[in-house]
Structure 1
Amino acid sequence: MPALSSDKEELFQNVLTQVAEQFSRAFKINELKTEVTNRLTMLEKRVELEGMKVVEIEKCRNDIKKLREEMASRNNSNFLEDNKKLTPYRDVPSYPKYHLSKETMEALRLPTFDAWQWEPNEMLSCLEHMYHDLGLVRDFSINPITLKRWLLSIHDNYRNNPFHNFRHCFCVTQMMYSMICLCSLQEKFTQMDVLVLMTAAVCHDLDHPGFNNTYQINARTELAVRYNDISPLENHHCAVAFQILSQPDCNIFSSFDPEAFKQIRQGTITLILATDMARHGEILDSFKQKVDSFDYTNEEHVTCLKMVLIKCCDISNEVRPMEVAEPWVDCLLEEYFMQSDREKAEGLPVAPFMDREKVTKPTAQIGFIKFVLIPMFETVMKLFPQIEEAMVQPLRESRDRYEELKQIDDAMNEVE
């Protein structure tokens, strides 16, 4: 074989080196794949072993997230023991950004918005848009990437309950956004007030276990013991909210000085605790005493209004069009029936409105709309007359529709 010239020999050596490097990379990739496969296998075995410890799984045996929740609720173990839940298990690049059209952005400002049409990543993008559109990201120097991570973590810390789930969180926040727009609240409130309203709405039902305070207290659950029977769920939602915010990657308030953070923390806690329906009469009566001489410079007045606003948004489904509102009734009744079935099995008291043998959709809704929703929204209407057409009138129509349905049900029962 003739000798190679020095140039060709050098070229040949370079080619050999490149080939060797490619082989080396290939081997490393294979090694990495093997390592990842082994780790996945180990994790699967661990999940399988954990699953074997659980007894009487009611639903979704193959859903690992629901399995963990079932273990927590059945065994009354500590909520959120796994701190990994507090930070998003997906990083931001895998959060598929949904680009909102002009029509979607306009629809988001209205109480008629239909949340059933949207996937979780689209709802996350809508929430992100609200924070930007209200000027909160700009005015409070919120890192946009941190906002994404925070919203992901919020999503991951809502359970897959029939009603108290991430879609409910989105609906409550979207209704708050629409009230801020419809009532021109940014002209009345400080931006800090608006930030508190939005953030409390986002966080208000975090890690809800699907069983209400009455169950927690009667069953003497770990939450009821921890919070001395005083709004155990709402206290838990607050605690989870600030556990998430304590993670640097999810702290949208990292630019706040200690005094400003104290203000946002106290404001958010006050509003989330106000969503306990056991306090409904107390909060509404307090607001009624202030509404005729309402003073936006009075901090106590403003706090009371904010408490009523989040209450309105939390139970606002019947404000929406019938085709949007009615599926939520089915979801709520499903959750109620799950609780009452458990209460019967455990020998605990059962509320009639939760008993599948006693309640119907019309009977469930008529009293709630007539005696809770309409009086509260009509009181808010004294301050904001513009909500009559958009919110109060749909409530009256919903009341009338359910009363007609009840008459039909009654007539059919008489025939039978």
Structure 2
Amino acid sequence: MGNGSSFDASKSVFLEIEDSVERIVFSLHSSTRDIQELICQAAKVNKFCEITLRNSDGAYVTVSPTIPQNTESNPYIVEIKPATATSLTTLQLTELLSGLATVHNLDQLSSQLVSHSSAATVPTLIDRITILEKRMEKEGLKSVEIEKCKKSIDGIRSQIYEAQKKFIYHSMLSGEHAMIPEIQSSYRRHAVLPHYTKYTLSKETIEYLKQPTFDIWHWEPNEMLSLLEHMYHELGLVKEFNINGVTLKKWLLCIQENYRNNPFHNFRHCFCVTQMMYGMIHLCKLHEHIAKEDIGILITACICHDLDHPGYNNTYQINAKTELAIRYNDISPLENHHCAVAFQILSNPETNIFANCDQETFKRIRTGMTSLILATDMARHGEILEVFKANCKNDGFKLSNEEHLISVGSASCQQHKHQKEVFSIIQL
């Protein structure tokens, strides 16, 4: 696109310079002075020389971006007059040098030019212009580097701001605490989430969704949102927790917004883990053995388990002494952060799907979700599997045993890196 645009905005003309035909190309946005300097360059003369163009009929042609195009067989004749004091006076050169030096903060050079201007000749001043141009070029390179640094800093600031803006605090939205007006308005705008298209799911899709072999790669983000919404309706969670339909949509959109665009720990990964749990629920018929409240906790924990993942693991967080590692004392910093973000979202009435639950129920939900999300720390994977094996050692695995179910829930929340082990658990 860039090359095409440049080509469309350029013009070429042919010039006869001392019995030699030369072709110059310039932008339609060039100034007259730019074109004159280009002609001087083609003629290999000083750029302050006077340039005159004539056509084949001897008529003068204006040197400007609107100059008519010609052909190689009919070039413009270039007449060149060397720069003289009459064409470019010493005063003009001195003003030019002094002005440029002042603009670019070259105070020392500026004072020298003014002090010697009276005795300077045109060639001497032209040499000084050349020196000044070189100085300006060096200063310009420094300015480019400074601008690059400024842009990098602005980019980092924007990333930090966007990351912080994702957390929707009820206190900020409701104005319970004093805030800077600009920040408060930005949180309010962020709280107004867009709607997503509600898809009508076919019977084949509904049945396929219940399989652990469901292929997650063929679905767009809006389709994944609709599938997650369907899970809450199909499992009876909307009725169990008296969830408002609009609130459920807003909550899912907010969840999607708070997953970063990481190569792995992104919203599609959230959907993958949740769908695996959904498939396990149906394959093992967990709804026949445990309460819907516990199923709701499992599904919701899966959806929230990697919220705002920065893309670097706990080992990095701890070794780099990041803010998360310091905040959580090197104890599962990422998992603690995911959990905190989940409940920050739920603290906003507009995205609190458990708003209609009583205090005791919400306390159980919070305890269960926290336990499951913290269990996704891979450093605890071996420990959790050992607990599961110990619980099953004597009598074997039993769905009626609450400890066994808790172990399965904890292990399955880690399935995103150990799917084979989860399938072996399912086969039990």
- Say yes or no: TM over 0.5: yes
1:201 to 294, 299, 302: 302
Match of 2:375 in 1: 274
2:410 to 283, 300, 307: 307
Inter-partner Cα distance in structure 2 for 1:86 and 1:171: 31
Q: Which amino acid aligns with 2:256?
A: H
Greater relative contact order structure (CA < 8 Å, 6+ sep): 1
Q: Flag the structure with higher helix content.
A: 1
- Over 3 Å counting, the alpha-carbon distance change for 1:139 and 1:81 in structure 2 is closer
Instruction: State the Cα deviation string for residues 243-278 of structure 1 (Å, max 9, x = none).
Output: 000000000001111110000000001001111100
Residue 140 of structure 1 contacts residue 255 of structure 1 at CA under 8 Å; is this kept in 2?
A: yes
Match of 2:220 in 1: 119
Match of 2:78 in 1: none
The alpha-carbon deviation at position 149 of structure 1 amounts to: 0.5
Match of 2:387 in 1: 286
Q: Which amino acid aligns with 1:256?
A: C
Inter-partner Cα distance in structure 1 for 2:408 and 2:189: 33
Q: Which amino acid aligns with 2:349?
A: P
Residue 274 of structure 2 contacts residue 303 of structure 2 at CA under 8 Å; is this kept in 1?
A: yes
Match of 2:233 in 1: 132
2:321 to 197, 220, 235: 220
- Over 3 Å counting, the alpha-carbon distance change for 1:380 and 1:182 in structure 2 is closer
Q: Flag the structure with higher strand content.
A: 2
Q: Which amino acid aligns with 2:238?
A: V
TM-score, length basis structure 2:
0.56
Residue 197 of structure 2 contacts residue 222 of structure 2 at CA under 8 Å; is this kept in 1?
A: yes
Residue 381 of structure 2 contacts residue 411 of structure 2 at CA under 8 Å; is this kept in 1?
A: no
Match of 1:91 in 2: 193
Residue 78 of structure 1 contacts residue 222 of structure 1 at CA under 8 Å; is this kept in 2?
A: no
- Over 3 Å counting, the alpha-carbon distance change for 1:86 and 1:233 in structure 2 is farther
Counting aligned pairs with the same residue, the percent is: 57
Residue 124 of structure 1 contacts residue 151 of structure 1 at CA under 8 Å; is this kept in 2?
A: yes
- Over 3 Å counting, the alpha-carbon distance change for 1:85 and 1:130 in structure 2 is farther
CA RMSD of aligned residues (A): 2.8
Residue 167 of structure 2 contacts residue 344 of structure 2 at CA under 8 Å; is this kept in 1?
A: no
Q: How does 1:395-410 map to 2 (within 5 A)?
A: none
TM-score, length basis structure 1:
0.58
The alpha-carbon deviation at position 107 of structure 1 amounts to: 1.3
The alpha-carbon deviation at position 53 of structure 1 amounts to: 5.3
User: Radius of gyration: which is bigger?
Assistant: 2
Residues matched between the structures, number: 263
Q: Which amino acid aligns with 1:177?
A: Y
Q: Secondary structure at the match of 2:262?
A: coil
The alpha-carbon deviation at position 165 of structure 1 amounts to: 0.2
Q: Does residue 1:107 correspond to 2:208, yes or no?
A: yes
Instruction: State the Cα deviation string for residues 314-351 of structure 1 (Å, max 9, x = none).
Output: 336xx6xxxxxxxxxxxxxxxxxxxxxxxxxxxxxxxx
Task: Specify every segment of 5 or more residues in structure 1 that has no aligned partner in the other structure, as ranges.
Answer: 1-50, 320-372, 383-416
Q: How does 1:5-404 map to 2 (within 5 A)?
A: 55=152, 68-69=158-159, 71=160, 91=193, 94-292=195-393, 293=395, 294=397, 296=399, 298-312=401-415, 314-315=416-417, 373-374=420-421, 377-382=423-428
Q: Secondary structure at the match of 1:55?
A: helix
Residue 87 of structure 1 contacts residue 247 of structure 1 at CA under 8 Å; is this kept in 2?
A: no
